[in-house]
Amino acid sequence: MPLIALTGGIASGKSTVARRLAELGAVVVDADALSREVVEPGEPALDAIRAAFGERVLQDDGRLDRPALGAIVFADPAARHRLNDIVHPAVVRRSHDLFRAAVERDPDGVVVYDVPLIDARGVGEFERIVVTDAPVETRVTRLVELRGMSEEDARARIASQLDDDARRALATDVIDTSGTLETTLAQTDDLWQRLRG
């Protein structure tokens, strides 16, 4: 079963490509969803986050206060690394469980790991690394217009991630998402044919 990493910076069209691959038959494992699951109340990662950042990052009901934590980690690279050191190992364990389950269900299927931080996982376990790519200005516009961020926040989020050149350097395949939706979907369909070929 091919294990494919799908990565790209924020607002680069990664979710669109992941949805299309799922429609075509891939098993998509979403790292962002897993990162939310592993910090639910009762999970060891949430306890570690509380120990590292204090009660100020928890809501009254004991759940993670994402905006409060985000305000800390997006303003402080050391804090972001500390958070990643807590959450990433938990996500890796959970993702490996899901990869194994997918192989058991369909040994000939394609598993796509939708992951924003490929540098955190390493590249050795993946047969291909697919990068969704769009210019920074396009991504800033998307974040402002579609997600309601301020331009300053959008640029800060983009700057906090792996540099686009470094991400492209890891790629075996690049999907240019700067054009129309139809063009992005056509490139994704072509990728699917290569994955199944």
In this predicted structure, what is the pLDDT of residue 122?
A: 61
In this predicted structure, what is the pLDDT of residue 197?
A: 72
**Residue 146 CA to its chain's centroid (Å):** 18
In this predicted structure, what is the pLDDT of residue 116?
A: 82
In this predicted structure, what is the pLDDT of residue 120?
A: 44
Is residue 179 located within the same domain as residue 118?
Answer: yes
Is residue 102 located within the same domain as residue 136?
Answer: no
- Determine the structural domain holding residue 134 and report its residue range: 1-26+109-192
Pick the last residue of a domain from 55, 86, 107.
107
The 10 Å Cβ neighbour count of residue 151 is 11
94-134 confidence digits (pLDDT tens)? 999 999 999 899 998 999 999 987 754 466 789 999 999 99
Within 13 Å of residue 128, how many CA atoms lie on the same side as its CB?
Answer: 18
Contact status, residue 145 vs residue 187, Cβ threshold 8 Å: no
4 belongs to a structural domain = yes
Q: State residue 58 phi and psi, 5-degree precision.
A: -115, 145
Rounded to an integer, what distance in angstroms lies between the CA atom of residue 127 and that of residue 193? Answer: 15
Is residue 161 located within the same domain as residue 144?
Answer: yes
Domain count for the chain: 2
Residue 105: which residues within 8 A CB-CB, separation 6 or more?
27
Is residue 5 located within the same domain as residue 65?
Answer: no
In this predicted structure, what is the pLDDT of residue 47?
A: 96
Residue 42 has pLDDT above 50, yes or no: yes
Pick the last residue of a domain from 47, 81, 107.
107
Is residue 124 located within the same domain as residue 176?
Answer: yes
In this predicted structure, what is the pLDDT of residue 119?
A: 58
147-194 confidence digits (pLDDT tens)? 999 999 999 889 888 888 888 988 999 999 999 999 999 999 999 999
Average pLDDT, whole number, for the chain? 92
Q: State residue 195 phi and psi, 5-degree precision.
A: -65, -35
Contact status, residue 114 vs residue 29, Cβ threshold 8 Å: yes
Residue type, 101: A
Is residue 124 located within the same domain as residue 184?
Answer: yes
Residue 35 banded pLDDT, cuts 50, 70, 90: very high
Residue 192: which residues within 8 A CB-CB, separation 6 or more?
20, 21, 24, 25, 26
Pick the last residue of a domain from 71, 90, 107.
107
Rounded to an integer, what distance in angstroms lies between the CA atom of residue 30 and that of residue 13? Answer: 14
Q: What is the pTM of this model?
A: 0.84
Is residue 21 located within the same domain as residue 113?
Answer: yes
Residue type, 159: A
